[in-house]
Chains A and B, each alone.
Chain A
Amino acid sequence: MKKRLTTLASIAALAAIFALAPAPLPAQILEAELTVKGLACPFCAYGLERKLKKLPAAASVAITFKQNLARVHFDGRESPDIGDFFRLVHDAGFKLEELRLLVRGRRAEAGGEPCLELPDGKMLPFTSDGVGAALAREVPVGTLVEARAGARAAEEDAGRSRSYILSIESYQVIPR
């Protein structure tokens, strides 16, 4: 009986520790701003809004109809694939003109190219020009960085985008 109680107490203590422990959120896509041409019709715009709400970890979606802008905030539990934005907008009958992201990731290298690495192992390469050049040159690999960046398809495969590249607009190093 005493042994069983001890086991139960241990399980309860472990459960409490896991419940209280903060979720590890070292890096993720925090925010996306989509410029989508043709949000004039409410039925179409609401259709796009509905699709964006279904993105993994989307916390809120706001559409500014007059500016053709959709803003998505993410809760950090999961990072969507950049390709999801292009696919969803296309499926809703629109074209994604511009995608800007707020990304938190570790400075990394892949195939000799500068990247930001997300916690799930996704690598987001960035162009090594302008602000991106400064990030590649001055920030050591492994450093946690928060960056605002434009995203575009890097390669096309029979008309279907398959990889994406960031163009860094600004960044800041996140202190440990």
Chain B
Amino acid sequence: MRVRSRQERRTRTRAAQRVWPLCLLGLLLAACAPGPDAASRHTGAPAYRLVGMWGRQGAAPGELNGPMGVAIAPSGEVYVADAENQRIQTFSPEGRFLSQWKPSADPAAHLEKPVDVAVSPAGEVYVADYDTDRIYRFAPDGRFLGAWGGNGEGPGEFRSPSGVDVDDEVRIYVADFYNHRIQVFDAEGKFIRQFGGEGHGPGRLYYPTGVAVSGACYVADAYNHRVQKFTLEGGFISSLGGEGSEPGRFKVPSGVAVDSEGNLHVADSGNHRVQMFSADGRFLASWELADNASPELHSPVRVAVRGREIYLSDWANHRIIHLRAAPADD
């Protein structure tokens, strides 16, 4: 056993006295230093991390003008409903431009104001057009396969379809904005059912803008400032949110998506953020728009999720934002 001399002990004590303040300073600096993403609010675990952004205002391939809908294909390609350029664009997961569809050659396939896009498990693409009151169906290569709808309030008619999603059995769910309802169709557009209806109580809708289907049907009930959960048959299950800017509250939530773990992601457009909730509705995390040049406008308007990859359509800033869901200590 080694016995330390008094001199050695004194030297070590002095050294420790010098080191402790440095350690404390280091801890303080670490606590104050920005994390991997300074714009992110790590208010829970897991958290959102910024991966990248792409796009700028314009009409050239790869540029965007009011991007609204965003969807991720089974291949991982990102589809964007480029609303004011009247086209669909596809990008690699990293944001490299791949293709654009502007089917103006066929009048029946003309897109006037495409505001949302969804991709089926087989890669077929469904587009909601706000102005023509139709849902368009395209093959994975962009070939026009057909469309259905028309202006009206009857089954199969729309007054500005604002959101679209496809479930695993290729049933198409459409948020019908001015009719305050959700309509459900088969892959060819045959009407199956509708639910909702104008109102503010449970199960009622007030200007729904987005829909996501994953075991249940989640609806961005925009002007009730909440997200409602329904059975696939349209039975009311639960409601989340309410108007406000605190965590877990919304201002005009306009897009919803569900990840593989059942977490719900909400594009809280009026609060300029995306929020994440557990499957039982517990608030987990939020991420506020970075470098927002248009704080007076509502954005982001949509969210799409595949695995841990999350894409937001930042309508007001004409870009797509790529986030990753990761544990806070990742």
Contact = CB atoms under 8 A, between A and B. Distances in A.
Interface of A: 40-43, 46-47, 50, 53, 65-66
Nearest to B207: A43
Contacts of B222: 41, 43
A13 B184 CA distance: 56
Interface of B: 66, 68, 83, 113, 115, 130-131, 160, 162, 177-178, 207, 209, 222, 252, 254, 269-270, 294, 296-298, 301, 315-316
A46 B316 contact: no
6 contacts: A41-B254, A41-B298, A42-B298, A43-B162, A46-B83, A46-B115
Candidate in A41, A43, A53, A66 with the most chain B CB atoms within 10 angstroms: A43
Nearest to A92: B178
B18 to A, nearest CB: 57
Nearest to A42: B315
B160 A50 contact: yes
B252 A47 contact: no
Nearest to B210: A43
User: Which 10 pairs from chain A and chain B are nearest by CB?
Assistant: A41-B298, A40-B298, A40-B297, A42-B315, A50-B131, A46-B130, A43-B209, A65-B297, A43-B162, A41-B252
B296 A42 contact: no
Contacts of A46: 83, 113, 115, 130-131, 160
A29 B66 CA distance: 30
Contacts of B209: 43
Candidate in A40, A42, A65 with the most chain B CB atoms within 10 angstroms: A42
Given A50-B130, A50-B160, A65-B316, A43 B254 contact: yes
Contacts of B115: 42-43, 46
B162 A40 contact: no
Contacts of B160: 43, 46-47, 50
Nearest to A67: B296
B177 A47 contact: yes
A50 B297 CA distance: 19
Given A43-B115, A43-B162, A66-B297, 9 more contacts: A40-B296, A41-B269, A41-B298, A42-B115, A42-B315, A43-B254, A46-B115, A50-B160, A65-B297
Contacts of B301: 42
Nearest to A39: B297
Given A41-B269, A43-B222, A66 B296 contact: yes
